[in-house]
């Protein structure tokens, strides 16, 4: 998982984008559930199937449609009130006020313009604190027209495609409805279709994972346990406390660097530089961990980073030199991880702990990178660097060092708990613990950490893909 930025202080803009997008997603799904395409040219009127039904059935169908419309209106009104409350709070940053005010106006405020126009202005921050979005909102209910320059500037604002589309639609046609049949509905339907496709792939992997778990008693004898055949000799120091020393030394560096990184990161405005710093921090954490292993964790003289890597079972030797075996373990491990993490998430939901995932400062960068180069840097940091170094430390060293003294079961639990803890997110601790257990078991059963790196990379990659598809503009 992404660990280089968990302790950084969230940028106000990141909070603003999440608030707006979170409400946006609720509205989209509510509207999509009532999606009724309308033909622009229906042609000659002929009795439809609905018209041919008995009147009692037609009345029942009309009642259902009315109930759906009432439910939709009630839900949208409730969300609009939440947005208004957020905008009125004194603790809300100006950019969040503006986006919350925009959501309120789009959902309910524009219905009675004369009555609600004054309230819209009260939801906005003072004139001197307004951005371009606040200025555009202040003109919505005024007699002053919004010129094409302002309309073009709307497209460059750091808000989602949904809110841009809604505001543009309202500016061009203030009487446009808020239903899914609005002029911008096509882009929203395409958006939902893309998300649905990704969710379908995710569910197929989850189904495969459940089938593997159900059939495990019948197929386990066909899958050799490479970990059981691994020699008991280990290049790592045999003392139990050595693993704790290594992790504590790495953790001290991790926390110190995060404090420094967080203070610097919050002041940066260049997205490419922010992405580059994220990659640098991932590399710094990783190489320091390997260095600490070489200095404190080896059984014998201290070793260099290159020599440490040779002892971590990274190569294809553990898989008989076959990349196909690595891929089987990678895809299979990822499929099994999904149901495990889902069950952990259900259990986590019973514990009243909040996740700080939404305040992750690189979330907006993952969702909307300004260019391909910035996106490439983030992909390398999140999908390549993080899985590689975390697997080296937690499965390559810590798990194997604990396994030698305490056995497989205890080693899986302790290494996974520490893996989850260093992400600094109590709200996702059980998710990460479950993922860590699967990664440790994959490393144990396959005999190397190359497969667990692949599973870890798949997991981070799927998270990035979902983030881009859901939040990206």
Q: How far is CA 393 from the centre of its chain?
A: 24
**Tokens 């910035």 map to which residue?**
374
What is the spatial distance between Cα 238 and Cα 235, in angstroms, rounded to a whole number? 9
Q: Which of 224, 233, 226 is nearest to 401 (CA)?
A: 233
DSSP string computed for 107-166? HTGGGGHHHHHHHHHHHSPPGGG--HHHHHHHHTTSSS---HHHHHHHTTSSS-HHHHHH
Over residues 312-350, the pLDDT tens digits come to: 888 888 787 888 889 989 999 999 999 999 899 888 888
> Residue 75 has what pLDDT?
64
Residue 230: is it exposed, middle or buried by C-beta count within 10 angstroms (0-12/13-18/19+)?
A: middle
| DSSP code for 54 | -
**For the chain (length 473 residues), average pLDDT per consecutive 10?**
40 45 52 39 39 44 48 66 82 83 74 64 81 80 67 72 71 59 54 70 86 81 62 69 86 86 74 86 92 88 88 82 88 92 87 64 69 86 93 92 87 93 85 94 90 94 78 57
| DSSP code for 179 | S
Number of Cβ within 10 Å of residue 203's Cβ equals 11
Query: How far separated are the first and last CA of the chain, in Å rounded?
Result: 24
> Residue 315 has what pLDDT?
80
> Residue 336 has what pLDDT?
92
Q: What is the pTM of this model?
A: 0.67
Partners of 236 in the β-ladder: 298
| DSSP code for 9 | P
8, 265 contact by CB (below 8 A): yes
Taking CB atoms within 8 Å and a gap of at least 24, the contacts of 238-245 are 238/299, 238/404, 238/405, 240/402, 240/405, 240/406, 242/296, 242/297, 242/401, 243/297, 243/397, 243/398, 243/401, 243/402, 245/296, 245/297
- What Å distances lie between residue 189 and 8, 35, 155, CA to CA? 36, 9, 20
276, 377 contact by CB (below 8 A): yes
In a 13 Å sphere around the CA of 93, the CA atoms on its Cβ side amount to: 12
Over residues 398-408, the pLDDT tens digits come to: 998 888 888 88
What is the spatial distance between Cα 198 and Cα 246, in angstroms, rounded to a whole number? 39
431, 214 contact by CB (below 8 A): no
**Tokens 């810590």 map to which residue?**
398
């Amino acid at each position: 998982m992404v660990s280089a930025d968990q302790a950084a202080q969230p940028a106000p803009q990141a909070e603003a984008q999440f608030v707006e997008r979170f409400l946006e997603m609720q509205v989209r799904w509510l509207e999509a559930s009532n999606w009724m395409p309308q033909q622009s040219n229906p042609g000659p009127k002929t009795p439809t199937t609905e018209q041919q039904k008995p009147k009692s059935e037609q009345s029942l169908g009309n009642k259902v449609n009315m109930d759906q419309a009432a439910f939709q209106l009630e839900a949208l009104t409730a969300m609009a009130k939440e947005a208004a409350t957020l905008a009125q709070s004194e603790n809300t940053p100006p950019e969040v006020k503006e986006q919350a005010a925009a959501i309120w106006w789009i959902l309910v405020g524009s219905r009675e313009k004369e009555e609600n126009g004054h309230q819209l202005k009260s939801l906005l921050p003072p004139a001197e604190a307004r951005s371009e979005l606040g200025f555009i909102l202040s003109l919505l209910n005024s007699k002053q027209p919004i010129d094409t320059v302002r309309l073009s500037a709307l497209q460059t604002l750091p808000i989602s495609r949904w809110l841009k589309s809604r505001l543009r639609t309202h500016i061009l046609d203030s009487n446009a409805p808020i239903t899914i049949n609005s002029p911008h509905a096509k882009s929203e339907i395409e958006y939902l279709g893309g998300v649905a496709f990704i969710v379908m792939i995710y569910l197929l992997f989850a189904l495969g994972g459940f089938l593997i778990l159900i059939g495990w008693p019948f197929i386990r004898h066909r899958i050799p346990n490479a970990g059981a055949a691994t020699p008991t000799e280990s290049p790592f120091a045999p003392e139990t406390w050595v693993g704790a020393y290594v992790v504590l030394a790495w953790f001290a560096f991790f926390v110190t660097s995060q404090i420094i990184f967080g203070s610097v990161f919050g002041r940066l405005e260049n997205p490419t530089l922010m992405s580059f710093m994220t990659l640098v921090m991932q590399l710094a954490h990783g190489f320091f961990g390997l260095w600490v292993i070489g200095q404190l964790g080896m059984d014998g003289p201290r070793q260099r980073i290159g020599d440490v890597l040779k002892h971590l079972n990274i190569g294809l030797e553990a898989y008989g030199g076959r990349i196909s075996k690595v891929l089987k373990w990678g895809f299979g491990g990822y499929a099994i991880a999904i149901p495990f993490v889902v069950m952990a998430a259900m259990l986590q939901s019973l514990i009243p702990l909040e996740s700080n995932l939404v305040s992750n400062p690189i979330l907006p960068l993952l969702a909307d990178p300004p260019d391909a180069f910035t996106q490439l840097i983030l992909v390398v940091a999140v999908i390549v660097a993080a899985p590689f170094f975390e697997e080296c430390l937690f499965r390559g060293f810590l798990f194997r060092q604990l396994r030698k003294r305490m056995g497989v079961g205890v080693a899986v639990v302790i290494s996974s708990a520490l893996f989850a803890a260093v992400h600094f997110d109590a709200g996702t601790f059980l998710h990460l613990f479950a993922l860590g257990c699967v990664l440790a078991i994959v490393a144990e059963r396959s005999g190397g950490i190359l497969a667990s790196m692949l599973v870890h990379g798949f997991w981070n990659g799927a998270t990035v893909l979902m983030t881009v598809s859901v939040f990206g503009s």
